[in-house]
Structures are given as structure tokens and as C-alpha cells.
A and B are shown apart, each in its own frame.
Chain A
Amino acid sequence: MKLRKLFCIAGVALAAFASSPASAVVVTGFSSAAGNTYMDFSDDGLVSFDLDLNRPSGTTFNFRIESEDMGGPLLFNAVVNNLFGSGISRFVLTLSNATFDFIGSVNAPFDAGAGASGSGSSATISFPTPDAFGFEIGDPLAVGLPEQNWRINISNLEEGDSFSLRLQQVPEPGSLALLLGALAAAGFAHRRTANRHRHVV
């Protein structure tokens, strides 16, 4: 019931639930644009997923802490696949009810200058050249140094508590201009339609 309410608030029809293991971090909610999907690789003390972005959209994961996750910060890694074909200038990660304990590595195969910074509940991944392929947060493929997993501080949480992670890409300026143009055109069309309807009425 609570989850259903959450998705209604998010205004997104997706209600994908991972077939999570009985222990470890559990994904209890996923909200993103239609067509965006994920695979959960979380384990004891580890938040880990592959996120396929077929549509540019903000994405929110909700997690529940299990007993096996207690005792220290959670490790965090992910693979983000950019499948919508437009460049991403920045990628912002925001935690609710938890904070980043360590900002680890970012590996973008087609953008050697990618890097991450941040503190507290927010981190930003920056791409010198807008990224149109995708990237790895931390060390999801277990290649070792220089890749390093990020850490999430959950010291204020107990078993059964929840936290969330929102991921939001910032489009490259060109795409942003196109998006704003499209929104303006849509707004104009809506106004024309509304005005015409008023005349009819």
C-alpha cells in the first residue's frame, strides 16, 4: 500500500520489483520513465545494479536495510547504459536518509576525463565530452584498481529502515536547447488548442 502510494506520487506507471535475495540490501521500489530497466546485483553490504536508460529521465531506487548490511558503510557500484543516444554532461546522484561516505571511481569507456565529486547526500559525475555510451560507478566488474567502489554511510539506520538513491542526468547544452524548444512548442500548441476550445465553448 505504501509503495503504491509512492508510485502514484512519482506519477510513473513502473512498479518493478526485483526478485531480491532473502538477505542483504533489498530493492523495494524503482521509479523511472517507461522503458528504463535495471538488473539488481546487490548482496550483503553491497548496493549494486545495472541501469539501462532508454529514455532520458530521473530514476529513483528505494532500498531496505537487512541485518547482514549492518556494521559499516555499504559498498556501492553500478553500470549505467546510455541507450537513448544523446550526450550527458553531468549525472547527479542524491541520497535520502543516507550520505556518501566515499566517492570512488567513475569509468566511462568513451570519455577518459570523466570524474566524480561530492559530499554529504549529493555527488556529481562530470563528463568533459558529453557521454553517449554509459559508464561504470565504482568497480561493478571487479577489475580492481584504479577502479574503486563508492561507500554509503547508513550509520543512522537500523535493520528494516529504508533509504533512497535518485539518479538524474543533465543533458548536454545542445540537447537541452532541443528539449526546451520542444517544450516551448508543446506549450504553444497546448495554448492554441486551449484557446480554440474556449472559442468553441
Chain B
Amino acid sequence: MPLHRFSPARRTLLKHSGAIAATSFIGTMGALYSRNAFAATGKQLTPAASPYGAVAPVNDLTTGLPLLQLPAGFSYKSYGWTGDMMADDRSTPSNHDGMAVVETRRVGRSIEHVLVRNHERGLTSTLDAAVQADQNYDQGLINGIITVFSPGGVGPRVRFGATTVASQTAPDPAPLVGYAGGGTSNMVFRDGNWHSSTSSIGGTLGNCAGGPTPWGSWLTCEETIADLSGIGGEKHGYVFETDSNRADSIATPIVEMGRFSHEAVAVDPLTGYVYETEDNRNLSALYRFVPNAPLPLSNGSLQTGGTLQAARIKTIINKASAATQDQANDVGLLNPDIGDEYELEWVDINDPDASPVVVQAQPGGVSIGVMSGPTYEALSKGCARMARGEGIWHAAGKMFIVDTASGLDGSSRPGRGEGAVWVLTLATMHLKAIFVSGHSSAGNNPDNVTVSPRGGVILCEDGGTGSAGAARLLGLNPAGESYVFCRNNMNLTAAQISGAGKTVAAGSYFGSEFAGACFEPSGRVLFVNIQTPGLSFAINGPWAKGNL
């Protein structure tokens, strides 16, 4: 059957509901988050009431197992469990993470959505156990340790092997041995049903999240700064491009987007600038990449290079406690209150591929740590420090940015809290904290984020069971207050797993993180992963009852 990209007319049909919703969404965005009832206390301590009602166990339409708790009227199908055979005769890799719908197309009379899913995996013992696709980056056998030095080679060093050794007197750790096991898989969802999946990029490491592009691909991000080039492998810590057609994926790193512990990216469709987060506790910056290629961009455009820039606070617009500009850049983002707001400017990074360095005595009790080379340059230039940058998503001229560790821990250490959501308004470069969790019941380290076609924000928790007893999907209401939309209900016996034809281990997975939340263009289906034991969901229900 012939395969066609969507005609504009058909795309209009499918997006119509989203367009209608977007009108009201944009209209409300101006006033959005200004009425947060928790703003007076600085942080939200308890969940708000859900417009969808309470959650309760719902059986999976595929396996019959009660894997999720959802509001009344919602149903779901699971797919792509770790170990399930894919269409390329390989088993589904583990550690499902970031994901997005990258293409919606018509095949005959059917409607297909193509999703790309990350697999956040480290080294595997055999090459066959690694993600293997048509396009692979690092296929070498890695065997050895790597060492990171302080700037100029003076001061402490850190050695990475089977364990990490920061002590100067301890012997070398056991070597790293294996193959780069991460990568991506592409999945097809057709006419409301899961259809197929295939490997789409291999030979990468720690593919945590990433982001969809307006031109129908997925930028997959390595959350590592390991340089394995001296011990049989390649340098890692880069961004790669996975296409909806897996054969067109590009397993060559986009070096000028920077080498650091990437988490996620989001593209501003008006400029083509790619905004990037970094996940390295209290040693992180917020970046953007300005491509050299002119608009419109397409698959491979980013390979022509560009300029990496880091964010620096230019103006303090609103902050509860007094701070200088330098203080705001150094620690202001580590422990925000709801309503904190800054104006950003962007600083060029001269060497986006610089090697990481060992740093000492950083905020939040980081006595010794390894900072990426670009971030070392950025913070040396006075740029803003983030705690742990995670998900980022573009909607209606705004970037929704999650810092999973904003806030304080029990010892009052900044950058070790329950997390926050920032909104960056691209037209003004104003960065505002719209949600800050002050207790795990309100938000337990949110990680990935998405925005529905109706303008509702969904957060994926990654803080373990927390006080709620399980990882959850949270919605943000129009005031920016979190509420519980879905709860992990996976506690599986061997008999249940066997009966469902799966091969994962039995046990409780209540604390396993949600990841990769995303909607298809009509807004009817929410796709999301649970990282361990590794499976994907398609969720449908009466979305119009609430704001998602």
C-alpha cells in the first residue's frame, strides 16, 4: 500500500481540534500561573484536586493486567515490553525513556503515528545485547578506565571504571568492559492500535530524553560525558538525529550542540534554535544551539554546525529574597519560589566539545564533581547554574523546562529538593517558576514534560515511590498547581507476567519512573513509558473533562 506524508488538507483535519484548543490556550497563557494558590507559601506542599477525579486501578486492554491507576473513563494499551520481539527480529531493548510522535501520516485509509523512543542504557556485555540498528555510532569493545583531571591537571582527579574513584590514594577501579548499549527504537501506532517497532539508532550511551523536531525527526541525547576513545570506544555526551524512517537516521554526533550530560531538547519552530538541558547536579547550565543552516531546517541540517550558547541572568524581575545578579546566576535557580522571574541573555560557548574537568566545593554540598567542558566555560563566564535540568517542551512560544532537583533537602542543601517547572517566554526571554514542589506529595522530582494540544502540562515523576507510594503522572492546572492524573500500579507476579507472554522479572515497580509522555496531534492519545521493567502505553479517555 502506498505510503504518503500527510497532505496539508488532511493534516488540517486531524489538527483541527488541536487548533481550536490552541486558540483558547494561547488566550489563557497570558494570565496563566498568576493565580497559583500556593504562591504565597513559595512552594506547593499538597496536590490540587484533579479535574478528572480520583485515580483507581484500570486493566490494560492488551494484557488484562492492572498496570496503571487512572481516572474514571480512561483506558489504555501496553506495548513494546522489554524482550518483546520487534519487526527487525531483535528483542525490545530495556530502559525506556524519552519519546515523541515525530510523524503522522496516511497509509491508504489508515492514520499512522510514528514514535521514537529512547533506551537509556549503559554498557552491555555483548554487542548483540546492545541496540543494533541500520545506523550505529560506537561499536567497539570498551576495556579500561577513564580519568578526568582538574583544570590544568592540577588538583584532584576522578577515575571511572566499574566504580567511580575520587580518592587520590585509592587504587584504580576495575575496568569498564562492554559495548555502548543505548539507542532508540521507532514504533508505529495505527488506527488506535499498536502496530510495530524497530531499532533506529545504536551504539550510543545513556539515551535519556531528547526532543522532536518540526521537520519530523527526533534528537536523541546522551546523558554522559564519558570519553571512551582511549579504551576502545568513542567520545560520548552528544546529540544524534533519529528519523521517522529509521534508515535515514544519522549516527554521527552533532558535535557543535555540545558535549555534556544532555537530558532533553526542544526546538523553537520560528527560529530553529534548539534549547538544551543538562542533568549534572548543581554543575549544569541551560543551553541553546543556533544552527548555521537557514530555515526551513530538515533532517541533517544541524550537522552543518552552529553556535552553542548558555543562558545568563541579565535582570532579576522578581525574587522573594534579595540577591545580586551574580548570586542569582550562581544559586538563584537552585531553590526558587513560585513566581521567581528573570530575564535571560545568551553567551557564546567557544568550545562546545571541550573535555570535562574536576571541580570542588560547589553549591549544594558538591565537594568534588565532574563538570562538562562547555559548562565549565559557561559558569566561568557568569552564566546561570541549574540543579538538574530535565525535560523541556515547546508550546505556543514558550519553553516548559523542568529542574528535577530544585529546592532544599532536609539538610537545607540547595539543588536537592523536589523539583520545579520554569517557563521561558521566547519573545521576552523571561524565565518564570510556575510550579515549585515543597513536598513529594505535590511533586516527586518531575522529569520529562509534555504539553497537550489543548495546552495542558503533564509531568513524569522520577523520585521513586515518595510519600505517594508510587511514581505518578502529574497535570498542572491553569494556575500552575499540580494534580495527580495517573499512578504507577505495576506489582507483578511471575504468573501474571507469564500469562501475558512477557519475559520481565516479577516484582513491584511502583517506584519506576514515568518517561516520554507525548500526545499525537489530535490530542486523543497520550503515549508514555515506564522505564523499568520497560514498556510503553497509549492512554485514551475524556480529556475534555480537564485541561490536559
Contacts and interface: CB of A to CB of B under 8 A. Distances in A.
Given A81-B522, A86-B542, 15 more contacts: A39-B10, A39-B13, A50-B109, A52-B14, A54-B17, A83-B16, A85-B454, A85-B524, A87-B541, A109-B193, A110-B540, A132-B542, A133-B525, A134-B524, A172-B73
A35 B480 CA distance: 30
Contact of A84 (B13, B73, B75, B544): B544
A91 interface: no
A141 to B, nearest CB: 6
Contacts of A86: 542, 544-545
A130 B75 CA distance: 10
B13 A52 contact: yes
A138 to B, nearest CB: 12
Contact of B109 (A41, A83, A129): A41
A132 B543 contact: yes
A111 B516 CA distance: 25
Interface residues of A, number: 30
A37 B75 contact: no
Determine which residue in A52, A85, A86 has the highest number of CB atoms from chain B within 10 A of its CB, and name it: A85
Interface in B518-548: 522-525, 540-545
A140 interface: yes
A83 B545 CA distance: 13
A103 B120 CA distance: 49
Contact of A85 (B13, B109, B110, B544): B544
Interface string A78-99: 0101111111000000000000
A69 to B, nearest CB: 20
A112 interface: yes
A83 B17 contact: yes
A39 B9 CA distance: 11
Nearest to B9: A39
Contacts of B193: 109
A132 B193 CA distance: 15
Given A39-B13, A50-B109, A110-B192, A129 B524 contact: no
A84 B523 CA distance: 9
Interface string B67-96: 000000101010000000000000000000
B20 interface: yes
B108 to A, nearest CB: 8
Contacts of B134: none
Interface in B491-533: 522-525
Interface of B: 10, 13-14, 16-17, 20, 61, 73, 75, 77, 108-110, 191-193, 454, 522-525, 540-545
Q: Name the 8 nearest CB pairs between A and B, nearest first.
A: A109-B192, A85-B544, A83-B17, A85-B543, A110-B540, A133-B540, A87-B542, A132-B542
A84 B541 CA distance: 11
Contact of B524 (A39, A83, A175): A83
A14 to B, nearest CB: 14
A37 B541 contact: no
A50 B109 CA distance: 9
B218 to A, nearest CB: 25
A79 B109 contact: yes
B4 to A, nearest CB: 14
B337 to A, nearest CB: 34
Contacts of B73: 87, 129-130, 132, 172, 174
Interface in A42-101: 50, 52, 54, 79, 81-87
Given A82-B524, A109-B193, A37 B13 contact: yes
B542 A130 contact: yes
Interface string A9-29: 000000000000000000000
Contacts of B16: 35, 37, 52, 54, 83
B524 A132 contact: yes
Contacts of B542: 85-87, 130, 132, 172, 174-175
Nearest to A132: B542
Nearest to B72: A174
Determine which residue in B14, B109, B193 has the highest number of CB atoms from chain A within 10 A of its CB, and name it: B109
Contact of A110 (B75, B109, B545): B75
A52 B108 CA distance: 17
Nearest to A56: B544
A45 to B, nearest CB: 18
Contacts of A175: 542
A141 B109 contact: yes
A133 B20 contact: no
A100 B8 CA distance: 36
A198 B110 CA distance: 57
A151 B446 CA distance: 52
A83 B522 contact: yes
27 contacts: A35-B16, A37-B16, A39-B13, A50-B109, A52-B13, A54-B17, A54-B20, A79-B109, A81-B522, A83-B523, A84-B17, A84-B544, A85-B17, A85-B523, A85-B545, A109-B192, A110-B75, A110-B192, A130-B73, A130-B542, A132-B524, A132-B541, A133-B525, A133-B540, A134-B192, A141-B191, A172-B73
